[in-house]
Amino acid sequence: MKLPRFVWTLLLLLVLPALVGVLAFIQRSDPVAQLVQQSRTHAAAARYDDAIAALDDALALAPDNPLLYVERGQRILLIYEWDRALADFDRAIELAPDYADGYYWRGILYASVPDASARPQARADFERYLQLAPNGSYATDATRYMQQLRNE
C-alpha cells in the first residue's frame, strides 16, 4: 500500500522540529562551540580581552584544534599584538598544514604589519590559501590582496 503524499508531508512536519531540537541540543552541549560563539559575541562588542579569554578556555579543552588558534589569532589582531597573533596562526598551520584559513589569516597579518619586508610572505600565504581553497570563503579577498601587494 502506497501512502499518499500528504501523509509523508505530515510526517516530515512532525519529525523536522524534533531533528532541529536535537541538533540545537548537541550544539548547546558542546562547550568548545559555546566558547567560540561567546568569543565572537565579545569581539563584536569590542570586549577583546573577554573574547580572547573565551578562546583560551576553549583551547584548554581542545588544544589541538587549529580553528581555535585561528579564531584567537583574529581576536589578537584586533589589539595589534602581531607577534602573539603570528604565533597562533603558525600553530594552526603546524597542527594542520592543509588548513587554508590559517594561511589566509597569517597573510592578513603579514599584509597589515608596518614592516614592508613582510609583504612577500603575505603574498605567499594568500597563494597557498588559494591553492588549498580556490573556491573558499576568502578566495575573492585573497586574490584582491595579492593584486594589491603586487602593485605596491
Write out 3-48 in H/E/C secondary structure: CCHHHHHHHHHHHHHHHHHHHHHHHHCCHHHHHHHHHHHHHHCCCH
Rounded Cα distance between 75 and 55, Å, is: 9
Does 65 reside within a domain?
A: yes
CATH number, residue 136:
1.25.40.10
16-41 confidence digits (pLDDT tens): 555 454 445 445 569 999 999 999 99
Asked whether residue 124 is assigned to any structural domain, the reply reads yes
Q: Is residue 25 part of a domain?
A: yes
Residue 102 lies in a domain: yes
CA torsion, ordered 76, 80, 83, 86, to nearest 10 deg: 50
pLDDT in tens, 119-150: 999 999 999 999 999 999 999 999 999 999 88
> In which domain, by residue range, is 46 found?
18-151
Split into its structural domains, the chain has a count of: 1
Whether residue 9 lies inside any domain: the answer is: no
Q: Is residue 93 part of a domain?
A: yes
Q: What is the pTM of this model?
A: 0.79
